[in-house]
Structure 1
Amino acid sequence: MPRTRTKTLLAAPLLTAALLTLAACGGSADAAKDDDARPAAKPAQAVSAKTADSELGKILVDDSGRTLYGFTKDKPGASACDADCVAVWPALTSAKDVKAGSGANAGLLTETRLGEGAEQATYWDWPLYYYAGDATPGDVNGQGLDGEWFVIAADGKLVKQAV
């Protein structure tokens, strides 16, 4: 077989695969029309912080019942949690102002600005976090971790007792 024909025979399946991949990744010719047919995005939902009974007493949770924590390295109203930290301890952020729910003191609930304009909810100057190890509402698996992470009581103080 001549060398040119061998190259053509080998290139043909590769070219076909590439074209099929591009076709699968590309949008329809009517992409603009498809976008117009989609429903408008829902407005951002407001998030609230409220209190709930736990084995540690009344503690702060979000509107879904997920426990909220404070970090002892934070300064009043300022987070000390870096990117590695936030991977395990995500901040309570919201596109809208966080509201005080049942049992939470609205006067203690504020926000602090993070980088890129995002805002993190704070309670009595404690920036609020979730713990990635809490699987269900009411879990307090982050309580006391590293002697730095504690649930927050209804009065805004860190609960430093063991579970």
Structure 2
Amino acid sequence: AMSGIEARRHVLRDGAAIRIVLGISTPVDSGSITVTMPQRIVLAGRDGTASVSDDDHNTSWRARFSEEVMRSTVALEATMPLARLTLGDLANLEVGQVIDFEETAQSRARLGARGQTLFVCEFGKLGQNYTVRIRHPFDAGQDFIDGLMPAGAGRA
């Protein structure tokens, strides 16, 4: 195990490897742990021979790892498209100014985590609380195609 300056100076010269970066955070600070396993280690069995298919070991490891991943917490961000403005319009905005948005904007919200859009959603309100309802998974290819078309064209 290495940390600090020693870890930064270490150069991997072992060829292909698996690299797992685990983020750790507390209310006070955050950091990361990087686990690097050379491919030759991953493929070798415990006795030093080539890997033998040990289904019980693989299944228990996969279950344990999946359980840890599923318990990890991630901050979600929901954003709603407001309007398309020119840079000139944006530069002329003033404090207190109201920006109108399209009627369909609430139904085109996006839910994402760590800078990646995951779902297309719709904003709503239930009593005193605001809500986000997932409509379907985000499709980056379709979003790119929709971005090429003029606003409103091709949308039902």
Task: Please indicate the TM-score interval, normalised by the length of the shorter structure.
Answer: under 0.3
- Normalising by the residue count of structure 1, what TM-score does the alignment of the two structures yield? 0.23
Larger relative contact order (Cα-Cα within 8 Å, sequence gap ≥ 6): 1
- Normalising by the residue count of structure 2, what TM-score does the alignment of the two structures yield? 0.24
Q: Point out the structure with max Rg over C-alpha.
A: 1
